[in-house]
A = this chain, B = another copy of it.
Amino acid sequence: MTSKKPALPQLSKESLEKHLLPELYQWALSHGLLVYKPETPQTQTAMVALTTYPTPVPRACFESAQEVQVPFNELYARISSSDWLYKETKLLSASDEDFTGKLFAIQLKLDEFATTVSKDVIQPLRLGIFRSDYIVDKNSNSIKQVEFNTVSVSFSGFSGKVAALHQTLDSKGLYQEESNRTPFFQPNYEIPVSFPSAGFAKAMEVALSKYDTPNDRANLVVAFIVQRGERNVFDQKCIENELWENHGIKTVRLNFDDVLTELKLDANSNRLYMKHTGQEVGLVYYRTGYTTSDYEIEKDWDARFFLEKSYAIKAPDLMTQLSGAKKVQQLLTDDTILTKFVKDEHVKDQLKETFVKIFPLDDTPLGEEGKRLAMESPHNYVLKPQREGGGNNIYKEDIPGFLRGLDKDQWNGYILMELIDSDATEGNIICNGDSTFAVPILSELGVYGTVLFDHDSNILYNESPGWLLRSKFGDSNEGGVAAGFGCLDSVVLY
């Protein structure tokens, strides 16, 4: 092992096109790195966008990102069940009526519902399936947190496959010219592989095992709540396959329409059942519901309420989802607030090490500073609303004009975040569809977390089952793979 940053292969066009890419394509397709293309039949698929080579990441950064995951899981578990979050979300609802407001309205209905039923039909457990995203800051050479995702985190199934693909291509000597079919990176440099989807399945299995039921446990199912016309099916399928093949747990896939037509709540027990099969849903796992466009029709909000009020464990429940708000991330940079939830000073320092400056845009002194910075030095900042799913942020010079176009009372719904400055990687090649792009890329490291906890913040299970590297064109501001801006990558450590 060495600590010099590895160069990337510089293959001739012939080596790339004749030897490396066909092997990469066939490996990827035959190992399930698939996505449905728009408007194609269900029996046809295409390779998901990915890089040709792994991208160098400093080992220290990689390890520190993983070290903080279990503490971050615990932090967000505590926040989720706190009065503090409840109050903050209530405040936020006012300045973000379309999304936070609507979700919080459901929470209010849930609170009301809770007063009308006996306590034992309310599920105390909740499952957090998180991903904390980082960029390696080039000035400090340390990881800085972009955001903490608390709902519908994707690519847990693909992450390990891409790493295994890169490892295989390297081991087979395909990263070298033909004259030298030896590994390019290994064994000097490690290409680590993790299988977060296996960890997700394990966490779900643990959750189900703690779910009490008078019925046959073998009949419990996990309901994957998915988008209509979802194209990223195969990533989700990895979790379903793990659940079935390693744990014998069945899954069903339901969109919000199906939720209202195919599920029913038992009037007495408040348990969730599949109407036609009679199977009890022990766990509701959301792969939709995280963005306004997921609620296409008014009834979709009813579907969400229906699921939330059931006795099934939710992954995540509403408040856990809301804990991932950008606003919460901003508030946690305030030491007084962080201290409420993290008692251990050393751990707190570790978490704080990953924070960059985030400002509110309200009437507090910090908010006033935020407003000033947004107007006077926007090039160092990104402006974020309370949204998920990419494509919502306002960058740099666009910020002042954007803010001026808003009513001042909406400013509170945004946070102003320092831009993390990272070194672009030269020499990697993005495969997207049948095209390749040899352009500088920027990478984002995501670390997955799974945590089972109850509404008193007791933690029953807390793991970090792996990571993800995604990369995007160096000149694109957004990094969502599904949104088409980025692609899957893997890590080569140095």
Interface residues of A in 161-199 (CB under 8 A from B): 168, 172-173, 178-181
Contacts known (A29-B234, A30-B34, A250-B172); A179 close to B278, Cβ less than 8 A: yes
B46 touches A46 (CB 8 A): no
> Contact at B32–A37, with CB atoms within 8 Å?
no
Residues in B whose Cβ lies below 8 Å from that of A278 = 179, 181
**What distance in Å separates the Cβ of A51 from its nearest Cβ neighbour in chain B?**
14
Listed by A's residue number, 21 A-B pairs whose Cβ atoms lie within 8 Å are A22-B253, A26-B233, A29-B32, A29-B45, A29-B234, A30-B234, A30-B238, A31-B32, A41-B434, A43-B47, A43-B431, A43-B433, A44-B47, A45-B45, A45-B46, A168-B244, A172-B250, A178-B276, A178-B277, A179-B277, A181-B278
Residues of chain B contacted by A433 (CB below 8 angstroms): 41, 43
Q: Is the CB of A44 within 8 A of B46?
A: yes
A25 located at the interface, meaning its Cβ lies under 8 Å from any Cβ of chain B in the complex:
yes
Q: How many Å from the CB of A129 to the closest CB on chain B?
A: 20
- Is A42 at the interface (CB under 8 A from chain B)? yes
CA distance A139 to B16 in the complex (A): 58
Residues in A250-296 with C-beta less than 8 Å from chain B: 250, 253, 274, 276-279
* Contacting residue for A44 out of B26, B27, B44, B253, CB 8 A: B44
Bound-complex Cα distance A47 to B36 (A): 12
The reply to whether the CB of A241 lies closer than 8 angstroms to some CB of chain B is: yes
Is residue A455 within 8 Å, beta carbon to beta carbon, of the partner chain? no
> Would you call A26 and B434 a contact (CB within 8 A)?
no
Expressed in whole angstroms, the Cα–Cα distance for A173 and B219 within the complex equals: 11
Binary per-residue interface labels of chain A (8-29) against chain B in the complex, 1 for a CB within 8 Å, 0 otherwise: 0000000000000110011101
CB of A210 within 8 Å of the partner chain: no
Give the number of residues in A that approach B within 8 Å (Cβ atoms).
42
Are B34 and A29 neighbours in the complex by a CB distance under 8 Å?
A: yes
The distance from the CB of A23 to the nearest CB of chain B, in whole angstroms, is 9
With a cutoff of 8 Å between Cβ atoms, the chain B residues found around residue A244 in the complex are 168, 172
A237 contacts B by Cβ under 8 Å: yes
Interface of A (DSSP majority class):
mixed
Instruction: A42 to B179: give the CA distance in the assembly, Å.
Output: 26
Chain B residues positioned under 8 Å from A178 (CB to CB) = 274, 276-277
Q: Which residue of B lies closest to A245 (CB)?
A: B168
Residue in B closest to A25 when the chains form the complex, CB atoms: B42
Please, how many angstroms separate the alpha-carbon atoms of A168 and B250 in the complex? 11
Q: Other than the known A25-B42, A30-B234, what 9 A-B pairs have Cβ atoms closer than 8 Å?
A: A22-B253, A27-B237, A29-B234, A30-B238, A41-B434, A43-B47, A44-B45, A172-B244, A178-B276
* Min CB gap A462→B, angstroms: 29
The CA of A234 and the CA of B27, in the complex, are separated in Å by 9
| A25 cross-chain contacts in B, Cβ below 8 A | 42-43
Question: Residue on B with the closest CB to A279?
Answer: B181
Inter-subunit contact A43/B29 (CB<8 Å)? yes
**Across-interface contacts of A32 in B (CB, < 8 A):** 29-32
Q: How far is the CA of A409 from the CA of B31 in the complex (A)?
A: 52
In the complex, chain B residues whose CB is within 8 Å of the CB of A173: 250, 277
Interface residues of A in 29-73 (CB under 8 A from B): 29-32, 34, 37, 41-47
Give Cα distance in the complex from A285 to B433, angstroms: 31
Closest to A15 in B: B276
| Bound CA–CA A123/B156 (angstroms) | 49
